[in-house]
Structure formats: C-alpha cells, structure tokens
Amino acid sequence: MEGTSHTKVSLAEKFDLFSERGAPRLVARYNGNEVRLARVEGEYHWHCHPESDELFLVVEGELDMEFRDRIEHLAQGDLIVVPRGVEHRPCARSGEAKLLVMDADGTPNTGDAATAFIPLEI
C-alpha cells in the first residue's frame, strides 16, 4: 500500500470490490493510522479498544452505535469517535451499512487480536 498518499481513492469503487460483511478492507494509511472500509449488517459484539480511539463514518445506510449507557443513531454522512477503552457495539438493524473506519495501525477490529479479522488491502 506504499505510495497511496498521492493517489485518489474512490470509496464507491472500493466498496464494489467486496461483498463480505464484517471483514474490513484497508484502503489507505496515514500517520500510523489505517483507513478501512467495512460492510456490516445486524449486531456486532460488545468490545473495546484499550489502546486507541476509533472513528466510524457512515458512507451509506444507518448504524446504531450502542454504548452501555445510551445509543447513538448515525445516518448516512454522520460520524462518531469512540474513545479508547469505551465498550461499544455497532448495529446495522435496517439492512446493510457501508462504513469508513479509522483505527491506529494494527488495531484489531474485534478488540482482541486472537479473534480479529486482519483487514485485507484493496
């Protein structure tokens, strides 16, 4: 993925390259961070990332970001930053949602390296 800093990335084209849900794809890197795309549907499991914050941007669809004390509803174009160490559960209950997720390099999407899906570069 070296050399992508000067190359435009079309999110629509990248989303067209995969259909698997819950398996993020790596589309760019910057300053020790990864920009990932994910297709999600249904409820994910409760987890947290103790070492870094996590940004979610809804590209298409809707997402409920559940926290232990509340639910934040995100529509297309909305984003939320989940602070490090905060338990959360992304839920796409109204059909598929397409997300752009930004994490520190190597952050496991499940919160646990043993069960994480290593994002494929596309």
pLDDT in tens, 64-96: 999 999 999 999 999 999 999 999 999 999 999
Phi-psi region of 93 (alpha: psi -120 to 50; beta: other; left: phi over 0): alpha
Average confidence (pLDDT) over 5-22? 89
Q: Model's pTM, two decimal places?
A: 0.86
122, pLDDT greater than 80: no
CATH architecture designation of domain 11-110:
Sandwich (2.60)
Range of lowest pLDDT (59-63, 94-98, 115-119): 115-119
What is the Cα–Cα distance from 39 to 60, expressed in whole angstroms? 9
pLDDT at 114: 61
Name the residue with higher pLDDT: 37 or 114: 37
Please report, rounded to a whole number, the percentage of residues in the chain having pLDDT higher than 90. Answer: 66
Residues 6+ apart with CB under 8 A from 107: 34, 49, 51, 52, 54
Band (3; pLDDT cuts 50, 70, 90): very low
